[in-house]
């Protein structure tokens, strides 16, 4: 819903407004026509607060203080209300700095947002180093929250109660709170804060949650459950530490705002800054202005967004250069407090909004912009040394040498098997390949015909292919940086580094990426294994996946940098009723990624679970055949999903997503789905045939949102594997992280 401006109200408010320093503004100053109006006056006309993160030290700088008073209506303590500062010893609180900020705000008619009651960073060592039981830590947290919130009762309008509780995949972040108390710490924190000040407006705050990402989905879902339980949470803040190079996908942000609004929540832009690369000069500032402009438009458009806070005021004191090497200039005022293009852009947007002259309307139809699968994750390392405990291992799963059957038979799998993981430190990708091969061939004249590893990296329209034959370093190529590869003696482990000259720090970057493991056992290559399906044309710069450089406050783009190749369904000449009638051709794909284990998504060597799937279509029917090899089949669990089963996820066009589950040996469970659907197993439970009737006939070239999973439970207690053909976080049942199935 658009913000509405009430003209009479506007006049009244304008006449009544003061600039805090010189008393009332002149009529001239207050006219919306005056392009020089301070942001806070413009924003107040559309019920928007304009804020800045502040430290007591900054207030001693007269220029800082003057700008803060003239331009901003709200402050957030950048650090001085964090646990470490206000609660330095177990039995001692220190509110001196926080009080100074609050007093300043009250004197100058500014609203205060307290930040942050519960976080995993900037905690005192007495807290971090203590070996607390659950009851002890709960008591500590309750005491902390109640003491701090009561102290500021009536003075602090909003609180960031819980900060950054989710990781980038949408799981709970592994923190002292989560580990010791469990997820209920979140709910308890809100309840305790509310008890201490029932009038304070309570927020959940996080980064990479502005658009439709795995993480914002998790926040949305979780806050929804809290609201349903009656937990006093009134708003969601999204930090918005952005980069100038990457556009804001305003339709994605708009959609997220709208769904939060549907829950009755208020939305704050809480820590806005847009960092610019040092080498990017004036062009960087123009890009930055565009990002600020997009955010200002969204804030001006949606009434439920009622606070826009930048993380600092001037580039002079910003946290960015200290945290993101090679970046700076993230705010609207430069080091000398001069207005930057970003300031002018925000001012223009607000002026238009006040005049009612804006025609802006975000497009919320995202049907073409949906991220289909999770990118591969590269975690941040603290040094150049590869750390197997920190990376995520992914399988080499698809044999792209074979266009149709890309799976590995059990025999092939004993002949070649491998996994890989990539992390980063500063400007270096640091990766490892683990390989198990019965015969290693390295004496072929053609380099690519030898057993080797290939790494493909794409940045924008540039790409590079790095190849290393087993036992040897990468072949030299023209690359603006340095790449080195090192094998261990028996050729089972390959450690590599790719260092980029153009970057100081890779945090938050998303690269096009692929990696291949080639195997030759004699006559020629028999397999070239990738973590994605495709046509083995990475060397032509195509069919890349994505590698996302995860890290504190890194932003996952909601728009993929490259959409990985899709799976194909073969067109059948007639309707069919059994697996035997499925044509012998067709595309066969493996189940390979264990989405139940976010540290190692491969199937452990020796574990007997292996499967593949194939899909065809005729008219409005989808048909599938799944083959499965399993040493122990469990079907005795009460909860069907805990049994060995196959799940199929299908969504055609804008229709709802449907999930069909068949426990081994049984038909699909009944769902509310209106079309027909059936599943038949062979006696041994090694083959499933299924048919699903869709709403409308499937057209050649049509793309159906899709996923398929093979669940395995071996001990009758819990699932060991839930294997999918893609990486992800096991949330396809929510209609998320679907892949594409293209009708041939």
Say how far apart CA 73 and CA 38 lie, in whole Å.
10
Say how far apart CA 471 and CA 489 lie, in whole Å.
7
Task: Compute the least distance from the CB of residue 326 to ligand XIL, in Å.
Answer: 18
Say how far apart CA 268 and CA 227 lie, in whole Å.
18
Q: What is the DSSP letter of 344?
A: H
> Is 271 designated active site?
yes
Is 402 an interacting residue with respect to ligand XIL (CB under 6 A)?
A: no
Task: Compute the least distance from the CB of residue 78 to ligand XIL, in Å.
Answer: 5
3-state DSSP of 75-113? EEECCCCCHHHHCCECCECCCHHHHHHHHHHHHCCCEEE
Beta-carbon contacts of residue 544 (< 8 Å; ≥ 6 apart): 456, 458, 463, 512, 513, 514, 538, 562, 564
Write the interaction track for ligand XIL spanning residues 462-491; mark x where CB under 6 A is met and - where it is not: ------------------------------
CB count in 10 Å sphere of residue 715: 9
Task: For ligand XIL, give the closer residue by CB, 163 or 497.
Answer: 163
Task: For ligand XIL, give the closer residue by CB, 440 or 553.
Answer: 553
Is 163 an interacting residue with respect to ligand XIL (CB under 6 A)?
A: yes
Q: What is the CA radius of gyration of the chain?
A: 28
What are the tokens at 102? 């609050």
Exposed, middle or buried: residue 663 (CB in 10 Å: 0-12, 13-18, 19+)?
A: buried
Residues 100-119 that bind ligand XIL (CB under 6 A): 116
Determine which one of 55, 71, 271, 647 is catalytic: 271
Number of residues that bind ligand XIL (CB under 6 A): 8
Q: How many CA atoms lie within 13 A of 94 on its CB side?
A: 11
Residue 456, strand partner residues: 465, 514
Task: Compute the least distance from the CB of residue 559 to ligand XIL, in Å.
Answer: 23
Determine which one of 164, 543, 546, 647 is catalytic: 164
Task: Compute the least distance from the CB of residue 81 to ligand XIL, in Å.
Answer: 10
Out of 72, 190, 222, 319, the residue judged to bind ligand XIL by CB under 6 A:
319
Write the interaction track for ligand XIL spanning residues 26-65; mark x where CB under 6 A is met and - where it is not: ----------------------------------------
Task: Compute the least distance from the CB of residue 84 to ligand XIL, in Å.
Answer: 10
CB count in 10 Å sphere of residue 696: 11
Is 358 an interacting residue with respect to ligand XIL (CB under 6 A)?
A: no
Is 310 an interacting residue with respect to ligand XIL (CB under 6 A)?
A: no
State phi, psi for 578 to the nearest 5 degrees: -155, 165
Task: For ligand XIL, give the closer residue by CB, 324 or 393.
Answer: 324
Write the interaction track for ligand XIL spanning residues 588-617; mark x where CB under 6 A is met and - where it is not: ------------------------------
Buried b (16+ CB within 10 A) or exposed e, 147-164: ebbebbeebbbbbbbbbb
Residues 542-581 that bind ligand XIL (CB under 6 A): 553
Task: For ligand XIL, give the closer residue by CB, 313 or 392.
Answer: 313
Beta-carbon contacts of residue 94 (< 8 Å; ≥ 6 apart): 85, 86, 87, 88
Task: For ligand XIL, give the closer residue by CB, 84 or 143.
Answer: 84
Task: Compute the least distance from the CB of residue 98 to ligand XIL, in Å.
Answer: 14
Q: What is the DSSP letter of 491?
A: S
Is 271 an interacting residue with respect to ligand XIL (CB under 6 A)?
A: yes
Task: For ligand XIL, give the closer residue by CB, 441 or 554.
Answer: 554
Question: DSSP letter string over 271-321?
Answer: EEEEEEEGGGHHHHHHHHHHHHHHHHHHHHH-TTEEEEEES-SBTTS-SHH
Task: Compute the least distance from the CB of residue 149 to ligand XIL, in Å.
Answer: 18
Task: Compute the least distance from the CB of residue 57 to ligand XIL, in Å.
Answer: 11
Task: For ligand XIL, give the closer residue by CB, 78 or 167.
Answer: 78
Task: Compute the least distance from the CB of residue 55 to ligand XIL, in Å.
Answer: 8
Is 209 an interacting residue with respect to ligand XIL (CB under 6 A)?
A: no
Q: How far is CA 325 from CA 313, 425, 459, in A?
A: 20, 12, 19
* Cβ atoms of residues 114 and 81 within 8 Å: yes
- In this chain, which residue has its C-beta nearest to ligand XIL? 319
Task: For ligand XIL, give the closer residue by CB, 78 or 559.
Answer: 78
Is 78 an interacting residue with respect to ligand XIL (CB under 6 A)?
A: yes
Write the interaction track for ligand XIL spanning residues 615-644; mark x where CB under 6 A is met and - where it is not: ------------------------------
Task: For ligand XIL, give the closer residue by CB, 364 or 552.
Answer: 552
Task: For ligand XIL, give the closer residue by CB, 115 or 297.
Answer: 115
Is 239 an interacting residue with respect to ligand XIL (CB under 6 A)?
A: yes
Please name the residue that has the structure tokens 């045939």: 689
Task: Compute the least distance from the CB of residue 368 to ligand XIL, in Å.
Answer: 32
Q: How far is CA 637 from CA 150, 492, 630, 643, 648, in A?
A: 49, 39, 17, 6, 20
3-state class (DSSP) for residue 385: coil
Is 79 an interacting residue with respect to ligand XIL (CB under 6 A)?
A: yes
3-state class (DSSP) for residue 515: strand
Residues annotated as catalytic are: 164, 271
**Which residues in this chain contact ligand XIL in the complex, by CB under 6 A?**
78-79, 116, 163, 239, 271, 319, 553
């Amino acid at each position: 819903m658009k913000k509405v401006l009430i003209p009479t109200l506007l006049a009244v408010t304008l006449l009544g407004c003061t600039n805090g320093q010189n008393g009332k503004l002149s009529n001239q100053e207050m006219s919306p026509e005056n392009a020089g109006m301070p942001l806070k006056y413009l924003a107040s006309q559309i019920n928007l607060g304009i804020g800045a993160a502040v430290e007591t030290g900054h207030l001693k700088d007269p220029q800082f203080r003057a700008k803060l008073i003239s331009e901003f209506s709200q402050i957030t303590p950048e650090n001085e209300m964090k646990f470490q500062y206000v609660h330095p010893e177990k039995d001692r609180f220190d509110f001196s700095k926080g009080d100074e900020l609050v007093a300043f705000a009250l004197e100058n008619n500014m609203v205060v947002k307290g930040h942050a009651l519960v976080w995993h960073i900037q905690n005192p060592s007495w807290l971090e180093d203590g070996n607390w039981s659950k009851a002890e830590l709960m008591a500590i947290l309750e005491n902390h929250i109640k003491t701090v919130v009561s102290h500021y009762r009536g003075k602090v309008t909003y609180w960031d109660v819980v900060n950054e509780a989710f990781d980038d995949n949408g799981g709970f972040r592994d923190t002292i709170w989560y580990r010791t108390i469990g997820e209920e710490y979140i709910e308890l924190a809100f309840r305790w804060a509310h008890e201490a000040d029932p009038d304070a407006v309570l927020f959940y705050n996080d980064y990479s949650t502005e658009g439709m990402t795995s993480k914002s989905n998790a926040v949305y879902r979780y806050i929804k459950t809290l609201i349903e339980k009656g937990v006093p949470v009134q708003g969601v803040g999204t930090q918005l530490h952005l980069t100038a190079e990457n556009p804001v996908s305003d339709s994605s942000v708009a959609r997220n705002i709208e769904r939060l609004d549907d829950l009755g929540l208020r939305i704050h832009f809480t820590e806005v800054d847009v960092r610019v690369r040092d080498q990017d000069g004036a062009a960087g500032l123009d890009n930055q202005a565009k990002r600020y402009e997009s955010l200002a438009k969204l804030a001006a458009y949606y009434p439920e967004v009622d606070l826009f806070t930048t993380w600092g005021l001037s580039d002079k004191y910003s946290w960015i250069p200290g945290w993101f090497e090679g970046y700076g200039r993230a705010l609207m005022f430069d080091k000398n407090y001069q207005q930057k293009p970003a300031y002018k852009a925000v001012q223009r947007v607000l002026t238009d909004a006040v005049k009612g002259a804006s025609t802006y309307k975000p497009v919320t139809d995202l049907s073409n912009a949906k991220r289909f699968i999770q990118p591969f994750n590269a975690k941040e390392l603290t040094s150049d040394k590869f750390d197997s405990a920190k990376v995520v291992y992914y399988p080499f799963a698809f044999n792209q040498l074979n266009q149709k059957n890309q799976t590995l038979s059990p025999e092939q799998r004993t002949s070649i098997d491998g996994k890989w993981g990539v992390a980063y430190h500063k400007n270096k990708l640091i990766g490892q390949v683990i390989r198990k091969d019965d015969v290693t061939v390295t004496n072929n004249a053609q380099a690519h015909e030898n057993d080797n590893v290939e790494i493909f990296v794409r940045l924008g329209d540039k790409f590079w292919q790095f190849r290393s034959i087993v036992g040897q370093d990468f072949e030299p190529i023209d690359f603006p940086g340095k790449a080195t590869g090192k094998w261990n003696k028996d050729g089972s482990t390959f450690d590599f580094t790719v260092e980029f000259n153009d970057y100081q720090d890779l945090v938050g970057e998303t690269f096009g990426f692929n990696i291949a493991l080639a195997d030759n056992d004699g006559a020629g290559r028999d397999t070239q294994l990738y973590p994605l399906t495709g046509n083995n044309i990475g060397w032509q710069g195509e069919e890349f996946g994505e590698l996302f450089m995860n890290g504190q406050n890194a932003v996952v783009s909601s728009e993929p940098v490259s959409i990985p190749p899709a799976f194909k369904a073969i067109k059948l000449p007639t309707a069919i009723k059994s697996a035997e009638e499925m044509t012998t051709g067709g595309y066969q794909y493996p189940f390979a990624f264990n989405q139940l284990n976010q540290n190692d998504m491969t199937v452990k060597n020796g574990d007997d679970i292996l499967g593949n799937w194939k899909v065809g279509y005729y008219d409005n029917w989808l048909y599938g055949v799944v083959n499965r090899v399993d040493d122990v089949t469990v079907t005795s669990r009460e909860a069907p999903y805990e049994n060995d089963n196959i799940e199929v996820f299908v969504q055609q066009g804008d229709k709802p997503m449907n999930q069909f589950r068949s426990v081994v040996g049984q038909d699909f469970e009944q769902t509310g789905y209106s079309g027909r659907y059936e599943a038949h197993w062979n006696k041994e439970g090694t083959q499933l045939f299924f048919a699903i009737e869709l709403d409308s006939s499937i057209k050649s070239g049509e793309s159906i949102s899709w996923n398929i999973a093979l669940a395995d439970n071996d001990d009758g207690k819990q699932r060991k594997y839930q294997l999918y053909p893609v990486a992800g976080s096991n949330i396809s049942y929510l209609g998320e992280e679907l892949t594409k199935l293209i009708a041939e």
